[in-house]
Structure 1
Amino acid sequence: MQRDFRPVAEARAGSPVAMRPRPPEDILEISGEPIFRPAPEIITWARQCFIDEGASLLNEDHKHLRSATLAALWTNVPNGRAGRSVIGQCERGLPPAGKWLRGRIERQMLDWFGDIPDFLLTFDAGYCDTCSDAEFMALVEHETYHAGQERDAFGAPKFRKSGLPAFAIRGHDVEEFIGVVRRYGADAAHVRELVDAANAGPEIANVRISQACGTCQLRAAA
């Protein structure tokens, strides 16, 4: 049975969930001029909601991000791929190669944030202004899930010599053919956890986000 998002938020006194950040009005009003606006309020909200210890809707899947530097942007620039709109995207703070490209982006990051973030999240301001609370949280958490930690050959989390997590863009937990699951079952296809999670129903709300994620679409096209 679907559980609505708002009662979950209201059940916790002083929860920051109901205080979701909204895009600035001028971004919504300006057309024809591309705008990217730093949105530190999104990161603060996400940490208070589901990243940091003591968060109102804590998700331990994101515990590696407690030591990460995260940054976010609002934008009014329409984006899409293969006929699908993109409303959110997660990227590493700097591209892996290209001295001039890397240098130009580094300069822009310093101007925006004063530092180079480990991950940069970008969100469509128009969508985020009109979507429900549940859809907004699902979108932010979906992009945050892409802000992952590298794994070694045995699947264990990797760390740098400094002791900090080794960060990387993360794909989805499950990549399998439906036919394999249909013919051989969830255990044989190693998707039992996904099936059990689906059968249990949503903890917060039932929303659809992944097809509008720029990170997902880029990885699918790779």
Structure 2
Amino acid sequence: MPPADQAEGVEAWFGPAPDLAEWASASFIDDAAPLRNPDHEHLRSASIGFLWTNVPNAKKGRMVIGTAEPGAPQGAMGKWGRAKATLQVTEWFGMVPDFIITIDASWWLQASDAEACALIEHELYHCAQDRDEYGAPKFNRQTGRPVFAMRGHDFEEFIGVVRRYGADAAGIRELIEAAEAGPEIAATSIAQCCGTCLRA
């Protein structure tokens, strides 16, 4: 849990969440994890830094409660800007992790267990191992470590296309079958609250 005084404070705050990182790995990634998800197996060798924040965030008119992003600073910034961003990340985590997941601490304090699990897994799904042109997992030739990348959603389609032409035409048959089978853990509602998703 984030510190309540920081989560509800008026000063903008970002703070490392090593306990949340440990819990996420122990819950979803490790071999003995009670909610182990084989879809996250590639993350066993990834370093993932978690941050709490109390800074309200919205994109495209929707509240953002979590984001996943590469650990190394991205985007167009000058040499000093990149150096400052890298220094900040290193001060938070002691190194530059493969991924950083940021969670809205105020939301987390009122979330149900199922909502919290759903959000963390959603963000973990954005953290992927890169693939080559043949679809095989990529590895760094010098280190042998996996090459990591951000992952988009499994599908994006208009409801009207599905309504008019069916799930097969839209390529979402597996999604519909998964929905019809019902939730494996619990029903939740975190749709449209991920900042990573809203970047597109």
TM-score category of the 2 structures, normalised to the smaller one: over 0.9
For 1:60, the equivalent position in structure 2 comes to 38
Tell which deviates more after alignment, 65-74 or 185-194: 185-194
Tell which deviates more after alignment, 161-170 or 106-115: 161-170
**Residue 54 of structure 1: how far off its partner (Å):** 1.4
Whether 1:186 and 2:167 are equivalent positions in the alignment is: yes
TM-score, scaled to structure 1 = 0.84
For 1:195, the equivalent position in structure 2 comes to 176
SS in 1 for 2:192: helix
SS in 2 for 1:91: strand
1:10-159 equivalences under 5 Å are 22-31=1-10, 33-96=11-74, 97-98=76-77, 99-159=79-139
TM-score, scaled to structure 2 = 0.92
Distance 2:199 2:121 in 1: 18
Distance 1:107 1:120 in 2: 14
Distance 2:122 2:81 in 1: 27
The question of whether the paired residues in 1 share the 8 Å contact of 2:8 and 2:54 is answered with no
Distance 1:109 1:54 in 2: 30
Q: State percent identity of aligned pairs.
A: 57
Distance 2:7 2:147 in 1: 37
SS in 2 for 1:42: helix
Tell which deviates more after alignment, 190-199 or 176-185: 176-185
1:61-112 per-residue CA deviation (whole Å, 9 max, x = no partner) reads 1111100011011111111112211111111111235322221111011111
**Residue identity in the other structure for 2:104:** D
Query: Normalized per residue, which structure has more helix?
Result: 1
Distance 1:82 1:191 in 2: 25
**Residue identity in the other structure for 2:71:** G
Instruction: Report how many residues are paired.
Output: 197
Specify every segment of 5 or more residues in structure 2 that has no aligned partner in the other structure, as ranges: none
Specify every segment of 5 or more residues in structure 1 that has no aligned partner in the other structure, as ranges: 1-21
The question of whether the paired residues in 1 share the 8 Å contact of 2:42 and 2:129 is answered with yes
**Residue identity in the other structure for 1:34:** A
The question of whether the paired residues in 2 share the 8 Å contact of 1:142 and 1:209 is answered with no
Task: Flag the 1:27–1:187 CA change in 2: closer, same or farther, 3 A.
Answer: same
Distance 2:54 2:46 in 1: 27
